[in-house]
Amino acid sequence: MIKNQLAILMAKRLEKITKVAKATGISRTTLTSIYYRREKYISYEVLERLCDYFNCELSDFLTKEKDAQS
């Protein structure tokens, strides 16, 4: 399963969704969906903006975890 690390990245900086939304131009609705891992997909543009904002690589933002059933 692939998981995003948005909540972790935000926690490290003590940032709120509103601040990230204003700085990146990504809607609060989209960020909230990503934050709570409810998203079905994340566009390349959103991924790029978030990686730029958090000054991280894509591999820092997305991680692959083994399924519990495997």
- At 46, is the secondary structure helix, strand, or coil? helix
Distances (CA, A) of 63 to 4, 23, 51: 6, 24, 13
Asked if 61 and 47 count as a contact pair (C-beta separation under 8 A), the reply is yes
DSSP letter for 37, please.
Answer: T
Question: pLDDT 10s per residue in the chain (70 long)?
Answer: 899 999 999 999 999 999 999 999 999 999 999 999 999 899 999 999 999 999 999 999 999 988 766 5
- At residue 3, φ and ψ (nearest 5 deg) are -125, 145
Quote the pLDDT of residue 69: 65
CA dihedral sign of residues 44, 32, 14, 59? negative
The answer, as to whether pTM is greater than 0.85, is yes
Give all domains of the chain, ordered by start, each with its CATH number: 2-56 (1.10.260.40)
Quote the pLDDT of residue 42: 95
